Structure 1
Amino acid sequence: MVSSSGLSQYRLTHPEANSTAINSNTLGNEVTLPSHYVRNLLDLLQSRGGNAEVVLAKAGLPPEGPNQINATLSWQQFHAVIQLCCNEINEPALGLYLGSQLTINTHGMLGLAAISSVNMHEALQLICKYTATRSPLLTLSMRQHQQQVHLTLEELHPLADIRQFVVETFAVTLHATLDFVTGHKYRLRQVQFAFAEPGYSALYQAFFPCPVRFAQPQHCFIFDATDLAITCPWADRQVQNQLSAQCEQELQRWQQSQSIAGLIRLMLGRTKGRVPCIEKIASEFAMSSRTLRRRLDSEQTSYHQLITDWRQQMATHYLLTTALPVQQIGFLLGYADPANFGRAFRRENGVSPQQFRAKQQTKCTVDLEK
């Protein structure tokens, strides 16, 4: 469900560069990503003995690229920089370390607006709404479950081999931000990650003051609902209103720079089982379906093709990174009949979803044994 006021939350995305089934050469050109934290990553790389200039050159970027004001990166560049940095110093836990280096000031207007909020609840509402201005690859949602709050971190599109890095960075900096905003008073009860437990899992205790669980259904922070009322030491309503308005302007500017196809991909990523008709999508962009078709045609794609590509991306993602039953995956992708999902997947990949999952699991086992 998308409201006119909530449309901004849909207007950013990126495609996955999954080598097993996805051609990222066309998908990656449809959005641009802000380079905010890439600058911090390169500084961290340098401090650990890596060579940032070498990384930038290999990624096809000029030495001063990410340092330019309002610099943006393509998905391919962003992916390459992260992958090269991790390889440069051979540090699988680099995401954890980067997250710990990101202070409240590095989050720009959003960070300042959060600490100016009246209480933690208001700060979280801002963070959930404007996460897109800082980290377009992820979205954050909040819901209360009995006496606890669950902050769910969702990947807007599969992140391929940089998934763990991106999620770890976001999780560590989110905890640090909430801790700072509440004057170190909020109590994080548990952190859950959807990926498998890494070999350096003991290191997580240096970043999170609570149990950390892996191989969970989703990435999630859990804390007491009473913490939402914790007042922020730096609360200032007037300042917060001004900064929130600037966050909205920043989001709108970024939205306007994106392609229609890229924005639609994100909307599809949030449907979770019900793929909207093109008329519904068009109404969210305040245009007719005919105009939307023309816009997509000018971007050399169609709504049908976007749905097909998105389903292929997400099917691969769910099969490789979750233990969800194939039938449930089919429902999440908008197939009323699981058999239709199986036929569509076989048509694209030459094997059934079950065979694809088994083949990839076998391949991973063989690779680990080598």
Structure 2
Amino acid sequence: MSPSTLSSPAVAPALDSLIHPIYARLLRMLLQQAAVDGDGVLALAGLDWSTLVSDDRPLPRETIIRLIEAALAASGRPWLGLELGRQAPVSAHGPLGYAAVTARDLSGALQMLARYGAVRNASLAWVMRPVAAGLHLQAVERVEWGRARGFYLDTVVAAMLSVIESALGQRPAGISVDMPLPTPAWAAQYQRFAPVQFRFGQPLLAMTVSAEAARLPCLGADAQAHASACRDCEAALAVLADRSLVQQVSALLAAAPAGAYPGLPAVAQACGLGPRTLMRRLAAEGSSFQLLLDAARRNRALWLLQHTHRSVEEVASELGYQDTSNFSRTVRRWFGCTPGELRRPSASAAREPARPGYT
């Protein structure tokens, strides 16, 4: 392990490049095993099994949130994220999983998780650095998950611990996890990962691994297989980095907290460009910042009006409209009907768009 800090590549999450659908497939199977109607849960998120099992395009944020909320409500198990991450096999993580378990030791496996995590989950970035205690991995959350955040973070942590166990053939002592969540009433569920120490109420998601644990050898260490998996991960990262600027800007707008859409200067800065350069490059792709902002608001408005019981005034406010009448006029421009009419089943069926982020 190099003593220098290791960071994930600067790959911004895109609306159509967020989380691989295999985790939704695993969630459906987990629900079915618990005698919960997994297909019904998928339907509430706008998904169906036949498409999900054959389509490898990553799922966008809004779809994932709907899926998590529906799964939690149907199962009545707030620790479901832990179960999902725990049951995910190494193969579920694709080349990232194989790169980790074929590394020489746990230190090398953690380097893989830090560098290539975005190929399976583009909504987190990892920074790994040596500390006095051993190694410290700190997560940077790139996406606002709202009420689905606890489930999401549980899944990430449980999946990482599962990969570590697969790599070493054991659950080593000397691992602690900082959770940026209050201690849940069901905290005992985390004990299944003993001897891992969980600390709740922390400012950031992080994992610390002792120097002794970091030196433990991986059972499947294989230099040739490891190099091959790393090449596949690099190729996957290149695909993420090469996506269009329209996709990058759409991602930033879609991930913005409700009612707090960033302005052109902030988006330009996030993309590493000046405002004029951003406008010029978007124009070259046949779009503009205003068009993309309009699309982000349109998609969120449709979801809120069709899938929540919030009043029109509340939806308008959440989307940043101070004048409800102005919001109503905008909805009519978007969909050809009023917000109230849009909530009627006939109007909803006629205007329901394709899965967000897809054409």
Kindly state the Cα deviation for residue 198 of structure 1 after the two structures are TM-superposed: 0.8
Alignment partner, residue 163 of structure 1: 149
Aligned 8 A contact 1:120 1:178 in 2? yes
Runs of 4+ deviating beyond 4 Å: 29-32, 262-266, 275-283, 288-291
**Structure 2 letter corresponding to 1:44:** L
| Counterpart residue number, 1:108 | 94
- Per-residue deviation at 1:72? 2.8
Aligned length: 282
Q: Deviations over 1:284-342 (max 9, x none)?
A: xxxx875432234544327xx8xxx9xxxxxxxxxxxxxxxxxxxxxxxxxxxxxxxxx
Partner of residue 191 from structure 1, selected from 177, 186, 191: 177
Aligned with 1:53: secondary structure? helix
Whether 1:124 and 2:110 are equivalent positions in the alignment is: yes
- Partner residue, 2:21: 35
- Any conservation in 2 of the 1:12–1:262 contact (CA below 8 Å)? no
Q: 1:63 aligns with which of 38, 42, 49?
A: 49
Over 3 Å counting, the alpha-carbon distance change for 1:66 and 1:130 in structure 2 is: same
**Is this contact kept in 1: 2:8–2:127, CA < 8 A?**
no
Structure 1 partner of 2:348: none
**Residue of structure 2 in register with 1:73 after alignment:** 59
Instruction: Identify the residue that residue 9 of structure 1 maps to in structure 2.
Output: 9
Q: Which amino acid aligns with 1:36?
A: I
Pair 1:261 & 2:252 matched = no
Which residue number corresponds to residue 176 of structure 1? 162
Match of 2:288 in 1: 300
CA offset digits 1:231-262 (Å, max 9, x no partner): 22221112111111111112222444461315
Q: TM-score, normalised by structure 2?
A: 0.68
- Residue in structure 1 matched with residue 304 of structure 2 by the alignment: none
Equivalent residue runs for 1:225-240 within 5 Å: 225-240=211-226
Deviation at 1:276, TM superposition (A): 8.5
CA distance in 1, matches of 2:267, 2:24: 37
Structure 2: stretches of 5+ with no match in the other structure: 1-5, 257-264, 298-319, 323-359
* Alpha carbons 1:260, 1:295 under 8 Å: kept: no
Cα 1:247–1:349 change in 2 (3 A) is same
* 1:154 shift after superposition: 2.8
Local SS of the residue matching 1:191: strand
> Residues 17 and 58 of structure 2 are in contact (CA less than 8 Å); yes or no, is this contact kept in structure 1?
no
Return the offset for 1:62: 2.9
Residue 339 of structure 1 corresponds to: none
Separation in 2, partners of 1:86, 1:198: 15
Aligned to 2:36: 50
Residue 72 of structure 1 aligns to a residue in which SS?
A: coil
Aligned-pair CA distance for 1:179: 2.4
Per-residue deviation, 1:132: 0.7
Q: 1:231 to 1:161 in 2, by over 3 A?
A: same
Unaligned ranges ≥5, structure 1: 1-5, 15-28, 269-274, 310-347, 351-370
Q: In structure 2, what residue type is equivalent to 1:43?
A: M
The C-alpha deviation readout for 1:42-72, integer Å capped at 9, x for no partner, is 1001111111221222222233122114133
Distance 1:94 1:229 in 2: 32
Residue pair 1:34, 1:73 contacting (<8 A) in 2 also: yes
